[in-house]
C-alpha cells in the first residue's frame, strides 16, 4: 500500500527525533492515535494531522515595526551580520534562520520551507493562495530560509518578520504572522523608542499587542522597547517609557514585563558617563534576561509539545465529540420540524386545490383512492406517497444541515475547530444518513472504544511528563539521579 504524504511526513519526523529526543519520538505515535480517531469521526481529512499543527523544534519569532531594530538584535545575538539593517523597510519577507555547520551563510528560497515537512511552514503556500487574488506571487515572495553557523542557533529556529506597517502583501503577512505566533515558543515584540506615537500605530498595536494579551500562552510574549540609546542626549528614558506604556495601555497591555534595550555595537555615543552607566546597566540586565529566556526554549518546547498532545486529546473528548453529538441531534430535530412544516403546507395546498375542484373531479379522485381491486394501482399509489415523503425528508435534511453549517461558521472563531466540525458534520449528514435519519443515534465512528483510546493517550501524557521531569530535574538531590541537559539539536 502506497504511503500517504502525511505518513511520510510523520515518519521523517520520527526518524529525526529518534536520536534527539526519544520521549518526543514516542509522542508522535500518540498524535497519530488521535489522528486515527479524528479520521473516523471526520474531524480531520486523510492528509491532515494534529502533529503538524505545532513545531517540534524550539521556535523564537521576532515581530515589530520595520524600524524597531529586529534585524540588528538578531545580528548582535548571533555575533555576525546576517540580516540587512536600515532605517526603512529592507524587504517584506519572513526569514527563517537555522543552524548549519557550513561556515558559509546560505540563503534559500521559500520553497525550501514549503516543501520540507521538517519545518513549520510545510505546504503553507496553499493557505497563501487562498488569501491572495492571484497566483502570480508565489511562496518565495513571502518566505526564505537562511543557514548560519552561529552556536547560538543550535537547537532552535529564529524567525525575523517584515515590518507590520508595510501596506503591500498585508493580508498574507498577517496570516503568516498568526501562523508563526501560534507555533512559537517565544515571541519577541519590538517597538522603536524613537517613535512613541500611539495614534499613528493603532492598527499595528492591534496585531502586535491587543490580539495577544488574552491568549492562554500570553506568557511567551516579551515586549521590548529597543534603541533606548536615543534617550541619552535628553536623559529622559522614563518619559519615553511612560509614553510607550500609555500607548500599550490603550491597546490593553497594562501588566507584564517591559524590556528596555539598545544594541551596544551600533548605539549613539553617550558623552555623559553617569547617563552612559545607567543606560548600560539597564540594557545589559534586560538583554541578559531576554537571552536567558531564549536559551530556555529547548526545555520548554518538550513540555509544550506534550501539553499540546494533552490539550488535543481533551479537546476531542470534552469539546469536539460533545459538539458533534449535539449538532447531529439538532440536525435530526430540525429535519423533523422542517419536514413537518413542508407536509402541512403540502396538505394545505392540496386542500385548497380540492376546494376549487368540481363535484365530478372529486368523485374521480375518490374512486381512484378507494379502488383496492387493482394491485398495481395500489402499489403505484403507495410508491408515490413514499416518494413524496422521501423527497420531503431529504430536502428537509438538506435545508436543516445548511442552516446548522451557517451556525457553526458563526459560533466558532477558531479556524481548525470550525473546519473540523463542518467536515465531520457533513460526513454525518450524507445522503444515506439523511435517508435513514430515524435510525441515527450517534455520530459516525463514535464508539466506546474511542473514549478508551483517548484515555490511553492521556495516560501516556502523564508518563511523558514524568520522563521529562526525570530527565531535566533532580528533586531528590541524590548523586545517582543526575538531571540531563535537553538535546534539541
Tell me the whole-structure pTM to 2 decimals.
0.71
| Confidence grade of residue 311 (pLDDT, cut at 50, 70, 90) | very high
Q: Give the count of domains, the chain.
A: 2
**Residues 19-61: pLDDT tens digits?**
777 888 899 999 999 999 999 999 999 888 998 887 787 889 9
Q: What is the spatial distance between Cα 44 and Cα 31, in angstroms, rounded to a whole number?
A: 12
- Residue 40 is assigned to a structural domain of this protein: no
Lowest mean pLDDT among 3-7, 280-284, 308-312: 3-7
Judge if 195 and 232 occupy the same domain: yes
Judge if 392 and 272 occupy the same domain: no
The answer to whether the beta carbons of residues 62 and 177 sit under 8 Å apart is no
**Residues 236-285: pLDDT tens digits?**
677 777 777 777 777 666 555 678 888 777 676 777 788 778 888 888 99
Q: What is the spatial distance between Cα 337 and Cα 355, in angstroms, rounded to a whole number?
A: 27
Residue 482 per-residue DSSP state = P
66, pLDDT greater than 50 = yes
Q: What is the spatial distance between Cα 260 and Cα 320, in angstroms, rounded to a whole number?
A: 43
Judge if 245 and 323 occupy the same domain: no
Q: Which domain holds residue 145?
A: 57-295
- Residue 453 is assigned to a structural domain of this protein: no
Judge if 149 and 227 occupy the same domain: yes
Residue-level pLDDT at 327: 94
Enumerate the β-bridge partners of residue 189.
Answer: 63, 223
- Residue 432 is assigned to a structural domain of this protein: yes
Judge if 334 and 248 occupy the same domain: no
**Residues 96-154: pLDDT tens digits?**
898 888 888 888 888 887 777 667 676 677 666 665 554 445 677 788 889 888 888 88
Enumerate the β-bridge partners of residue 109.
Answer: 144
Judge if 289 and 321 occupy the same domain: no
Average pLDDT over all residues of the chain: 79
The region that residue 443 occupies, defined by phi over 0 for left and psi between -120 and 50 for alpha, beta otherwise, is beta
Q: What is the spatial distance between Cα 263 and Cα 334, in angstroms, rounded to a whole number?
A: 64
- Residue 338 is assigned to a structural domain of this protein: yes
Judge if 327 and 258 occupy the same domain: no
Residue-level pLDDT at 481: 44
Judge if 264 and 327 occupy the same domain: no
CATH of the domain at 145: 3.40.50.300
**Residues 200-235: pLDDT tens digits?**
455 556 666 666 666 777 788 888 888 777 776 666
> What is 338-386 written as a DSSP string?
HHHHHHHHHHHHHHHHHHTS-HHHHHHHHHHHT--S-HHHHHHHHHHHH
Amino acid at each position: 500500500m502506497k504511503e500517504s504524504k502525511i505518513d511520510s511526513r510523520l515518519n521523517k519526523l520520527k526518524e529525526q527525533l529518534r536520536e534527539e529526543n526519544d520521549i518526543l519520538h514516542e509522542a508522535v505515535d500518540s498524535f497519530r492515535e488521535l489522528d486515527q480517531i479524528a479520521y473516523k469521526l471526520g474531524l480531520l481529512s486523510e492528509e491532515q494531522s494534529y502533529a503538524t499543527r505545532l513545531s517540534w523544534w524550539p521556535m523564537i519569532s521576532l515581530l515589530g515595526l520595520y524600524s524597531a531594530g529586529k534585524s540588528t538584535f538578531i545580528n548582535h545575538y548571533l555575533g555576525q551580520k546576517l540580516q540587512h539593517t536600515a532605517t526603512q523597510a529592507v524587504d517584506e519577507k519572513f526569514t527563517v534562520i537555522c543552524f548549519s555547520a557550513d561556515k558559509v551563510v546560505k540563503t534559500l528560497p521559500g520553497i525550501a520551507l514549503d516543501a520540507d515537512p521538517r519545518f513549520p511552514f510545510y505546504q503553507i503556500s496553499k493557505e497563501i493562495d487562498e488569501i491572495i487574488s492571484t497566483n502570480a506571487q508565489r511562496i518565495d515572495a513571502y518566505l526564505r530560509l537562511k543557514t548560519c553557523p552561529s552556536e547560538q542557533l543550535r537547537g532552535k529556529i529564529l524567525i525575523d518578520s517584515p515590518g507590520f506597517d508595510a501596506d503591500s502583501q498585508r493580508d498574507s503577512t498577517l496570516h503568516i504572522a498568526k501562523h508563526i505566533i501560534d507555533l512559537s515558543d517565544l515571541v519577541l515584540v519590538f517597538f522603536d523608542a524613537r517613535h512613541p506615537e500611539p495614534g499613528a500605530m493603532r492598527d499595528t498595536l492591534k496585531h502586535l499587542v491587543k490580539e495577544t494579551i488574552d491568549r492562554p500562552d500570553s506568557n511567551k510574549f516579551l515586549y521590548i522597547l529597543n534603541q533606548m540609546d536615543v534617550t541619552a542626549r535628553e536623559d529622559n528614558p522614563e518619559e519615553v517609557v511612560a509614553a510607550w506604556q500609555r500607548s500599550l495601555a490603550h491597546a490593553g497591555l497594562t501588566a507584564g514585563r517591559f524590556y528596555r534595550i539598545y544594541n551596544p555595537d551600533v548605539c549613539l555615543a553617550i558623552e555623559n558617563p553617569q547617563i552612559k552607566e545607567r543606560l548600560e546597566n539597564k540594557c545589559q540586565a534586560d538583554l541578559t534576561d531576554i537571552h536567558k529566556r531564549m536559551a530556555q526554549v529547548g526545555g520548554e518546547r518538550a513540555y509544550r509539545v506534550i501539553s499540546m498532545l494533552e490539550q488535543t486529546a481533551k479537546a476531542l473528548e470534552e469539546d469536539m465529540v460533545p459538539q458533534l453529538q449535539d449538532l447531529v441531534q439538532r440536525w435530526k430535530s430540525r429535519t423533523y420540524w422542517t419536514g413537518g412544516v413542508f407536509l402541512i403546507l403540502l396538505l394545505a395546498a392540496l386542500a385548497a386545490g380540492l376546494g376549487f375542484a368540481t363535484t365530478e373531479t372529486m368523485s374521480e379522485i375518490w374512486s381512484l383512492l378507494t379502488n383496492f381491486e387493482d394491485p398495481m394501482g395500489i402499489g403505484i399509489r403507495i410508491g408515490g406517497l413514499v416518494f413524496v415523503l422521501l423527497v420531503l425528508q431529504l430536502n428537509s435534511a438538506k435545508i436543516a444541515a445548511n442552516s446548522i453549517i451557517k451556525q457553526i461558521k458563526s459560533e466558532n472563531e477558531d479556524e481548525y475547530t470550525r473546519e473540523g466540525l463542518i467536515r465531520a458534520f457533513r460526513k454525518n449528514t450524507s445522503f444515506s444518513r439523511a435517508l435513514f435519519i430515524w435510525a441515527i443515534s450517534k455520530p459516525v465512528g463514535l464508539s466506546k472504544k474511542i473514549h478508551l483510546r483517548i484515555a490511553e493517550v492521556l495516560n501516556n501524557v502523564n508518563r511523558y511528563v514524568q520522563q521529562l521531569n526525570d530527565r531535566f530535574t533532580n528533586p531528590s538531590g541524590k548523586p545517582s539521579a543526575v538531571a540531563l541537559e535537553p538535546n534539541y539539536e
